[in-house]
Amino acid sequence: MFWTLLFSFFLLGNGFEHQLIHPKTKGILKKYITEEQRLDEIMAIVNYHNKTDKRIQKKEEKLAITLENLFLDKGSSREQLWDVYEDYISVRDQRADLAISQGIKIRELISSEEWDKMLVELQHEFKKTRYRQTDYLKELQKSVEDMSSQIKRIIGDEQEQKKLENIVLDFQEQASILAEEYAPINIEDNKVLSDKYATAKEFNQLKEKINQLDRQSFGAYVKLHHELSNTLTELQWEALLWQGMDD
């Protein structure tokens, strides 16, 4: 479990595009927009977004698999991790930029009254995301405890045990801090995301904030990977890796 959480940690900000065009947008639009011609125009924008986003997402998924494999490889260097990450975040930006441009077009075609009604449903959907983040932190706490137990089983030297436990605890602390910073970036709590009249500049500023948090998150993982790989032998790394996967 711990290794899966490592991979998901720096992706806490992932899904920014869903804050602008949610997967359930179509159903919500049909519920509140009765003017057929305008609804058709909006649906054309949503369909274009979904089709284009799906194509970009395939690139993102391939890079995510590459990153995950690097995470599990003791020999992965900091440079290798960061190089793939930069490609990954570039693709993520493409998805966000698409959602910003198309999301603004959709909002321009929706009346204030319609938006207010839709917003209630969208905010309800994003409460589920908040619950997932809370669950993530609980799982991370348990996994850190499990990892500490695994370290004690694998490492005989008490000083080495303590050193590795501190490395994992430092990562957990960083994860908790960053998760708290991610938490308010949702359509319920963030004024930009909930504002029908928000501008592209405001959305881009929010995107950059998420990217900054993502980089901090990824940097925290790279540090953890570097410290563990430099401290553990190949056999210890494999033992820790496979025990973590068996949880």
Note the pLDDT of residue 53.
94
Distance between CA atoms of residues 227 and 209, nearest Å: 27
Question: Are the beta carbons of 17 and 53 closer than 8 angstroms?
Answer: yes
Predicted local confidence at residue 41, as pLDDT: 97
DSSP state of 21: S
Picking from 211, 240, 228, the residue whose alpha carbon sits closest to that of residue 76 is: 228
Point out the residues of the chain with pLDDT beneath 50: 1, 244, 246-247
The answer to whether residues 117 and 35 touch, using CB atoms and an 8 Å cutoff, is no
**What token pair was written down for 153?**
């089983």
| pTM > 0.95 | no
Which pLDDT score is estimated for 130? Answer: 61
Residue type, 123: Q
Distances (CA, A) of 238 to 1, 150, 231, 243: 15, 12, 13, 8
pLDDT at 10: 53
Q: Considering Cα of 153, then 157, then 161, then 162, what sign does the dihedral take?
A: positive
Give the distance, in angstroms, between the CA of residue 1 and the centroid of all CA atoms in the same chain.
17
